[in-house]
Structure 1
Amino acid sequence: MKVKPTEDRLLVRRLESEEKTAGGIIIPDTAKEKPMQGQVICAGPGRRNDKGEVIPMSIKEGDKVLFAKWSGTEVKVGNEDLLVMKESDVLAIIE
């Protein structure tokens, strides 16, 4: 299945979190928090202003982003769990 987001939405793959703490303690899967970093897989064309003109996205495919813990909507595409979120849900681009 092929998915392309509309307007100012992004399709994001969560990046895996660390399995050990800085002190070397291994964190079990049940105690892990969901990662708040991801990589943009696909981006929509951008939102429209009052005149109907498209305002291009500042985030592009391949960018690594930081987002709030409960941002976006989880979707399953094929065998993969992804997030669909608005561009405004992204807090920062990681360089």
Structure 2
Amino acid sequence: MSGAVANIAKKIVPLFDRVLVQRIAAETKSKGGILIPEKAQSKGLEGTVVAVGPGARNDAGTHLPMAVTVGDKVLLPEFGGAKMEIDGTEFHLFRETDIIAKLHE
């Protein structure tokens, strides 16, 4: 995580089961080196978790643990989430249940 993103993560603490994610930029070149036009580029469906909330609450009022942590690489849905721009950087806020999977390298 870059220094600017780390500072933003300190400023924003999502509530409940929400997760702040920075999407990985879409590919602008094919593997063969051909430039892909902007309209043909697909949304980046991968992202890095920047900040997480404490977790949803159960009926007893205790927090349920989150399945993702800061720094995790995740697979995101194509649509959904709240888009926001903070200090010139684009982020997306998702509920933990909207995140499709964690990616292991």
Q: Same fold (TM over 0.5)?
A: yes
Which of these residues, 48, 62, 65, is aligned with residue 56 of structure 1? 65
More strand by share: 1
Equivalent in the alignment of 2:93: 84
Q: Secondary structure at the residue paired with 1:54?
A: coil
Q: Where in structure 1 do 4 or more consecutive aligned residues deviate above 6 Å?
A: none
Point out which structure has higher relative CO (alpha carbons under 8 A, 6+ apart).
1
Paired with 1:69 and 1:30, the residues of 2 have a C-alpha distance of 15
TM-score by length of 2: 0.83
Asked whether 1:65 is paired with 2:57, we answer: no
The CA deviation at 1:21 is 2.1
Q: Which runs of 5+ in 1 are unaligned?
A: none
* Unaligned segments of structure 2, at least 5 residues: 1-7
Sequence identity percentage: 38
Q: Distance in 1 between matches of 2:58 and 2:24?
A: 32
More helix by share: 2
Give TM-score scaled by structure 1 length.
Answer: 0.91
